Structure formats: structure tokens, C-alpha cells
A = this chain, B = another copy of it.
Amino acid sequence: MLSRKIIDELTAVLGKENVLTEKEELACYSFDATADMPQSMPDVFVTPTCTEEVQKVVEIASKNKVPVYTRGSGTNLSGGTIPLKNGIVMGMVKMNKILEIDAENLNAVVQPGVIIQDLNDAVAKHGLIYPPDPGTVKTATMGGSVAECSGGLRGLKYGVTKDYVMGLEVVLANGKVMRCGGKTVKNVTAYDMVKLFVGSEGTLGIITEIIVKLIPAPETRKSFLASFKSLDDAANSITGIIASKVIPATLEIMDNATIKTVENYAHVGLPTDAEAILLIEVDGLPEVVAKEAQAVEKVCKENNGQLKVAETDEERDNLWTARRAALPALAQVSPTTVLEDATVPRSEIPKMLKALQEIAGKYDLKIGTFGHAGDGNLHPTILTDERNKEEMERVHKAVDEIFDAALKLGGTLSGEHGIGMAKMKYLENEFKEAGVEALRSIKKALDPENILNPGKIIDLEG
């Protein structure tokens, strides 16, 4: 518990309306969107309204060695925002202004509490887009999404969040503010602190302002649904499309378990007898789209795919609604949905899919798999029930094996969800001892007292 004195100090800085201490209020911040994680109550929830207030909160925290857990909408999927060691949860939702849209230089300056979709709506008026689009684009904040380095459906062609963050203002663990990067397309002045803070999950500094790159909106786009009787055919189509030098904006896969569940939930006419479907979108100038669409059709047909083109906007919307429904649909089937983001080089997708089937069989679990096939980022989703202790033991063993399989195939622990609490125990499997030591030294360098989101990514006591 925090002393009354600290609460009073926080209240003096932020005003009463920005300091919550009632149990019922705090309970909302004791968990996040991640399943199968412990809950932990914060001592206080604060909502600063400007950088100076963030600084003062951090100064108070630093002076009293109290943890600060920074939080946007809490949509992350690795337990990143759970206040494991209690202390202060700092909600950034009141710093939610779009400060500038600089269409001439193709960038925007935003506060961390801006919702991703709101930014996209604002820049659409200038014919521009901000490409990163995590599934939670309508609820997630820019700050959270930068701290987690969100991926999304367009990663293959457009990259992920880190590819769009040009500059940051960050409050450091010592309460000082630093700026790095800026509005220039090129910047190699000293170490790339921007990219270091992106994806650092609030453990190295608190993001208070973000400069993001924008790009011209594609003029047109074309979406397909390709159904396959075998996983191999689907997988070969994925590599075939890339081999034909087409980089689709989106190239998603769903396995049979996911198809059935989604169809049952969303009724959009998915082929429930298909072993796998691919959802593909190409975009750009009309001439490019026509040419790439042709190539996509050719590859899918060569691999025994049944192709359906979305002829109208409504049909297109249906397709993508189906894709975005994958997680909620799977989540409805069972009380607990353990969603992973094991990621492998694209060519290893067939092997990874096979490994997932084997793991499901071995531990007698229901695993639905969908995800960003084009960039090798799969979402094996285990449908289970937290209350069933025996089954959860099997789930945990299966998760261990999923990550083992991904690493063995030259993959990574996390394509887009981050490490948070959920994957800390696997970190050394990927980074080995020397790498973990290096990561730890970075954390110690920027947060020597371990007050920023302690207990995430890397264990300083370890």
C-alpha cells in the first residue's frame, strides 16, 4: 500500500479528479486483455494530462521507489499492463490530442492517448493512411501500440509500428524528458533511441508524444477468399504468391477449426468444409491491382484453390469482418482463450501448422489457428477453461512446445504481442545467456531502480 503522503503528493500535482483510490475503480486496472494471467491491484490510478504531470508522477515514484505501470486501453496480449507489484497505474487516455497533421512532410504528431482509428480517420481527409492496424485498432491507443510495437494485418507489405515511428518524447525513469528522432526521413544521429523505446513495453521510459510517418492511401484494392482442401496447398500458395513477386497488403490464413467457429459466429458464408482458407488483399494503383490480382489467382488455382473475388464493397467488408471475427468467435466457444503469436520465416509455415496439429493431438486440446500467413505470424489459439486445472496444465505444456517449435524453425517468441509477463520464461531460449545479459544491462541503464513496469520483459533480480 502507498502511504497517504504519496497519494497526497500525487493529488497535489494532478488534482483530485485524476487520482483514483477506490477499490472498485482500481479493480478495472488489475488485469488486461491477456488470458490466463494473475490479477494484481494497483494502489492508485492516475491520469496525467500533460508531459509535465507525467514527469512529476515519475519523480514522486522515483523518490519513493514505487512502480509505475503505464497503460493505454489495456488491449495488449502478453500481460504487459498488469500492475504486478502494485504501485501506480498511469492511464494515458487523457493525453489524447492529435497535435499536428503535416501532410506536406507525410507525418503526424500525436499524444499517446489517441485511439489508432481516430488518427486514421483524421489523416484520411488528406488522402493518407497510418498503416499499422492491430485487431484492436478501434480501441487501442497510439501510446500502447508504440510501446508494444503492434503488428496487424498489413505487416507484410507495410511493416509494423516500428516502421512508422519517426520521433518520440519520452519521460525517463529519473523524471527527465528526452526527445529523439523527429520529422526527418533520415536520422542517424547517435543510437536509435526511437526504435529502442518502440516495443519496450513501458519498461524503459514513458512515451508522451509520438511523431509517426504517414503514406498516401492506396487508390484501390481487391480482396479474395481462396479455399483449399489441404493445408499444404494453402501454404504453397502463400510462398507461390511471394515468389511471383507480388507482396499483398494482406495475406491471412484460417484453419478448419477457425473457419467453422467463425462461420458459426458471423454467418458470412465461409466454406466450412475447407481445410484452410486464405484471405488476400492487393492494393495500389488500379493497374497494379489488376496485374497482382491476376498473379494471385494464377498461383491459387495452380495449388488447387477455389477462388472467390469480393466484387462489391459489401463482399469485401464481409471477408474482413470474418477475419476480424476470428478471435471473438473462438473466444465464445470456451471460457478461456489462450492466444499466442509464435512467428516463423514464411517458408516454414507448413511445418509450423503441422507442429501445431501434432501438439493439439498430443495434449488433447482444441487449437484453432489463424493469422498473418504472409509474414509467418500465426495465432494458434487454445480453447480452454481456466477453472479446469488439469486441462490448464496441458495447455501450459502445449504453449511451451509451440514456442520450442517456432524457435526450432528459425522463428521468434513474439511476432507482435510482445513478451510482457506471459513469455518472460522463454526469453533465454531465444536470446541465450549473453543476449539476456545485454537486455538486462539496457534495462538497468535506463531504469536503474526498476520502477518502470517492473516484472515485464526481463527480470532484474534474475
Residues of A within 8 A of B (CB): 102-106, 127, 148-149, 151, 155-156, 160, 162-163, 172, 174, 176-180, 182-193, 195-196, 198-200, 204, 215-216, 239, 242-243, 245, 247, 284-285, 287-288, 291, 343-347, 372, 374-377, 410-419, 423, 427, 430-435, 437-439, 441-446, 457-458
Alpha-carbon distance between A291 and B289 when the two chains are bound, in angstroms: 14
A431 with B190: CB separation less than 8 A? yes
B438 with A184: CB separation less than 8 A? no
A162 with B445: CB separation less than 8 A? no
A414 with B347: CB separation less than 8 A? no
Query: Which residue of B178, B410, B430, B446 is within 8 Å of A432 (Cβ)?
Result: B178
A375 with B186: CB separation less than 8 A? yes
Total identical chains: 2
Query: Which residue of B193, B412, B416 is within 8 Å of A438 (Cβ)?
Result: B193
A105 with B346: CB separation less than 8 A? yes
In the bound complex, residues from chain B placing their C-beta under 8 Å from that of A412 are 182, 184, 186-187, 189
Query: Which residue of B245, B439, B446 is within 8 Å of A190 (Cβ)?
Result: B439
Q: Which of A177, A199, A239, A416 has the most CB of B within 10 A?
A: A199
Alpha-carbon distance between A317 and B221 when the two chains are bound, in angstroms: 35
B180 with A431: CB separation less than 8 A? yes
B190 with A457: CB separation less than 8 A? yes
In the bound complex, residues from chain B placing their C-beta under 8 Å from that of A160 are 186, 188
Query: Which residue of B183, B195, B291 is within 8 Å of A285 (Cβ)?
Result: B291
Q: Which of A177, A200, A215, A245 has the most CB of B within 10 A?
A: A245
Query: Which residue of B188, B346, B423 is within 8 Å of A415 (Cβ)?
Result: B188
Q: How far is the CB of A446 from chain B (nearest CB, A)?
A: 6
What 16 new A-B contacts, CB under 8 Å, besides A127-B245, A148-B188? Answer: A160-B186, A172-B438, A176-B434, A178-B438, A183-B410, A184-B415, A185-B377, A188-B414, A188-B417, A190-B427, A190-B431, A190-B457, A191-B196, A191-B200, A192-B195, A216-B245
In the bound complex, residues from chain B placing their C-beta under 8 Å from that of A186 are 151, 155, 160, 343, 372, 375-377, 412, 415-416
B184 with A345: CB separation less than 8 A? yes
Query: Which residue of B163, B179, B344 is within 8 Å of A184 (Cβ)?
Result: B344
**Given known contacts A176-B434, A185-B375, A288-B285, is B345 in contact with A105 (CB within 8 Å)?**
yes
In the bound complex, residues from chain B placing their C-beta under 8 Å from that of A377 are 184-186
A435 with B180: CB separation less than 8 A? yes
In the bound complex, residues from chain B placing their C-beta under 8 Å from that of A183 are 345, 410
In the bound complex, residues from chain B placing their C-beta under 8 Å from that of A178 are 431-432, 434-435, 438
In the bound complex, residues from chain B placing their C-beta under 8 Å from that of A191 are 196, 199-200, 204, 439, 442-443, 457
